[in-house]
Structure 1
């Protein structure tokens, strides 16, 4: 198995509402099949898929999918000044800020939010891992 993640699928209650949340943050969806929304990223795609349909695909009950699973998604930015405005945009779009922007023990600057379905995102400036010109992240930087 090659070392990569191709597609991240988020189970959501309402695909249209969740897509509107991410679009309010400036993301642009790709054309695709009805009932599924895809946002192309740098080298991956983030997909929004109906929660009930994903449970059916997995062969589990819908209530078996849910809650904080210990997974967060990281969105790194170039400067610490970019963190707080993103959290403000999240709140304006209906998301919930879990941790306001602030310094963290390892020398970075972070904040956390939950999207409309409770998926947890970290917005971070890591001065030890500068982004590429395109915005790609790599541990240790480019």
Structure 2
């Protein structure tokens, strides 16, 4: 299995550095962006397996970036995990409704983060297998 590619988008350089270190130490390949617009560019360039997006960023926020990333991914399942200090139910629901698949509350717990990345990667892998099987059946 190739190394899991993770895109981390957060405008806070320290948060981004901490997350990058945690993710790299878990053996994953990391790409970084400091706002939503740059996250979309990085997504197109690197085609990450999983995206970690801060909700509130300048230039373009995480919710809009998630919408655009999901549109670019098309039928390919690319999990988006929102990074947030928000705690109210409506804000968290808005994250999920904008294309997010989960959220991780600050401060980050590296054990939970690793479990979420591994879980979503398994789902992504199953989705790709199903797509291949569907395409094979459609060709016959």
Pick the TM interval, shorter chain: 0.3 to 0.5
Q: Which has the larger radius of gyration?
A: 1
Give the TM-score, by structure 1 length. Answer: 0.32
What TM-score, normalized to structure 2?
A: 0.32
